[in-house]
């Protein structure tokens, strides 16, 4: 049985973003109605907070090109210092044996 993998969009800001700014950006992305989930790559720091260096967008069944066209103005507004956008598969499609051993499933 062959499953078709859905493409995802990765946004890499050229600078780390504060947790507040990243959460606001994720809310803006979800409000477009084209994205079902936004995942962060967090970088923890000693003060107990975190900075965000990467966003992975799980699409809601639309083509990646249409979504990128819609979110590019939001990215330019929130990240004037520049960013990179890539399309691909950035999350694991199914749990691994290591995930079961660590109790994550």
Residue in the structure block whose two tokens are 């507004």: 77
What is the model's pLDDT at position 60?
A: 83
Ranges of the chain with pLDDT below 70? 1-4
State the pLDDT at residue 65: 94
Output the pTM of the full model: 0.83
Give pLDDT, residue 61: 83
The confidence score (pLDDT) of residue 4 equals: 63
Spell out the residues 6+ positions from residue 57 whose beta carbon is closer than 8 angstroms to its own: 8, 9, 10, 11, 29, 35, 37, 38, 39, 67, 71
User: According to the model, what pLDDT value does residue 27 have?
Assistant: 95
């Amino acid at each position: 049985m062959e499953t078709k993998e859905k493409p995802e969009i990765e946004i890499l800001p050229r600078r780390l973003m504060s947790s507040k700014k990243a959460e606001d950006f994720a809310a803006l992305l979800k409000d477009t109605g084209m994205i079902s989930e936004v995942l962060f790559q967090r970088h923890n720091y000693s003060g107990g907070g975190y900075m965000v260096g990467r966003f992975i967008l799980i699409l809601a069944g639309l083509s990646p090109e249409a979504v990128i066209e819609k979110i590019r103005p939001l990215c330019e507004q929130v990240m004037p210092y520049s960013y990179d956008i890539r399309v691909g598969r950035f999350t694991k499609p199914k749990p691994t044996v290591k995930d079961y051993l660590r109790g994550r499933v």
